[in-house]
Amino acid sequence: MIVMPEQDAVVAITAETSDMQGELDLVWEHLLPAMKPAPLPRDRQSEARLRQTLSSLMLAPPQGQRSSPLAGRVSGKAFALDTNKLGIESAWFCFDADGCLLKLRDSQTEYPITCGIGGWRRGETALPGTPPRLISGGAPPRGTKAKLAASGTWVDPNTFSMVFRYYETPHHDTVTCRFDDSKVQITFMNSMASMSPTPKDERPILQGTMRRAGA
């Protein structure tokens, strides 16, 4: 937060960035010169354009197929996951025409996330490893919930891809679930890792096998 008493202003910067000086440079280059000692005359035309621009801002949900022949076969099924460093033991999927409910479970807690298809569904999650963080100081305590909007799509008949946007941060996750016969592979890619020339998320790839009825 920057206090500017001579301009009777406070600038609050909420972006999580590794280049804060670059953010400050933009304040000095653009905001400071625009601040005048007296109020500007009202400009209704510019105000209307600004309101229109702000009201139209949006992040489009991922685009693709709304369904797959595979959805009915895996919907309502649980997959036992191989041992992994996240401690997630199982994954469960439920698909319908408007979305997907994903439940990941460790030894103590279930982490449900509802995704829209063709639109966003808002919720919260305390899934380990979320939300992605750039700043130092370590991960938040286990069990800390983050607000998110989630949407998914079938990118091919065997692959369902979801985007989790943590809208109180600048970050998001792409979670890709690939089904192969009775197997599932779940991969994570956060928005920071995806910008690397060699993208790699620190979270493990989750491998699972569909549980038999009654197992």
Parallel/antiparallel/unpaired status of strands 9-11 and 172-180? unpaired
- Output the pTM of the full model: 0.83
152-163 mean pLDDT: 97
* Contact assessment for residue 126 and residue 109, using Cβ atoms and an 8 Å cutoff: yes
* Contact assessment for residue 133 and residue 139, using Cβ atoms and an 8 Å cutoff: yes
Residue with token string 């692959």: 159
Give the tokens for residue 95: 């698909």
CA distance 105 to 92: 9
pLDDT tens-place string over residues 167-189: 988 899 999 999 998 999 999 99
On the question of pLDDT at 153 being above 90, the answer is yes
> Which candidate, 161, 174, 127, 117, places its Cα nearest to that of 147?
127
pLDDT tens-place string over residues 105-138: 999 999 999 999 999 999 999 999 888 877 655 5
| Main-chain dihedrals φ then ψ at residue 50, nearest 5 degrees | -65, -45
What does the pLDDT read at residue 12? 86
**Backbone conformation region of residue 5, classed left if phi is above 0, alpha if psi is from -120 to 50, else beta:** alpha
On the question of pLDDT at 213 being above 80, the answer is no
pLDDT tier, 139 (very low <50, low <70, confident <90, very high otherwise)? low
What does the pLDDT read at residue 38? 84
